[in-house]
Structure 1
């Protein structure tokens, strides 16, 4: 199969470290540029896909690895690429990362300077280096939502899932096994008068544990049907981000709680502290989650929203959008002091961004009941 070039160790879908090449057999090098079909994958368990990208830099081949499995696997080139030899001292054809230089010479030679003329056409192309086995099931389930609101899935959710910062919130659900994340729509309070607050409630979404999840780590996100019918795409996107944060926090809290109850101590200190904050003090989820969203995740959420929207709105408008719902506090089990803390954090966010109550409320009203041009299209997705 050729000499080993470089590989990666995967653990639970993430790269943990690169695996460097061993000493080459007989110190033999080649000056041949290897074609894509010379790449072979040696899989120890199984792989999802391997792509080989000919980069814009003609001396490099960038190999991209994608895996959702717990196994490790390596990519081989046959014969190897590189330059140098016994007189060269080192295997100069391999960089410390995930690149292999194209070109080279015999023993004691130096690296080639460019692709051979017949291979110039390969630069910039992206092709499969190895056959892909039967695809695994990625446990972010959008079918219930996609069936009723295909444009919400196609225009918003699928585009969010192309963003690295957003994907970091749902990585734990993107495996062939549980936990899973399910998206659906349903009926939630909308334009409903709350006698305790004296305001009308517009609940955009809700996140809860999947009843089939034994550990409480699988989540179901429900988007309000009235939101999908009446609100702006901007507000729908912000709701998806907001509820994904709920799912992310609930997953980690429940996992930390499960580990603590079973004597495991491998969860991060931050989530250990949050676990105590959430469970021992008995605070409702809307308090604990919203406090964390305001203090630790707000800027990240705003960045995800603006990237999805391609900066069509102002930074202030993105802040006002992501603020919606973060002042919601379940009244049961929350002391006056606790309410004052989250209210102060919320108000500080408004002050720091130059937002008045009147413009915030108007902005929310305009987006909750948006003009038709800002709503989801009814078809064509």
Structure 2
């Protein structure tokens, strides 16, 4: 305690033991003139600071501010509150994206950056450079949608941009910059996409037979996509050690998974016998030139180019088929064979049944007519 001007106890960070699991806080005491006694104040560390480093950086600045006031004779009624920080969309959104840059794949990062450029261009066009995050209400959202349409974006693209922009607002909520999103989500009606194309049974059999005879590595590659719903990009990064032969499954780590989560993909009875090709192998499942096992990762476009060649040889190149069609085909066959949609959601690793429903509708497996049965 000091007797300089007014009695006080300088601010300090607690708990002192860094190994303590308790929440961090700053405690100090200042003289209360009206009560004629010391009054102790506790300031809890904001929950947005997670690491010890972040906590100490916050505490250092806050303690310095408080102690400066106390040492200058401050008492209750005289200590100034922390100045409120104004968070504008133009300043905080780019900062949020850069801080998370290392967690994104390059393509994903570029997608978010494109959406960011669009909302900033909108703000500039409306002279709203100083619009705060908390002020982006449905009124501004509606204007933003009109702006996107005016520059030639389709309804589908608008919906994608809104979803990406929503991520920025969610980050602001997580960091306690705002309490909740200041707007309600709006979605435009979309025309059904023809991107998701599954093989007809006839074309599937023709292509499978050709690969068995002419390109076994490609055949094996497509079996993982078809039976286990593993995305081609994930599959190229998988290694033999990811196969759990005892549990009959494949471990897909967050480092290569599209959703950045660790997943365990079960292997069905049709795919399991094919795993004998990897017994005793090391390295990547598909190495350079798609060799089974290898220290060097398969080239980026190798599977796509070889699959495109197969389609061309068989005269199937202009029907909308792609390497990804094996995943779509597997989902169609599974649903048609009676696999429950909830189970299919887990197998496809979708975050919700809604996404699985939309996915199956894009493949024309589920239609609104089915919902009218028995009315």
TM-score using structure 2 length: 0.27
Higher RCO (C-alpha under 8 Å, 6+ residues apart) = 1
TM-score normalised by L of structure 1: 0.27
Larger Rg belongs to: 2
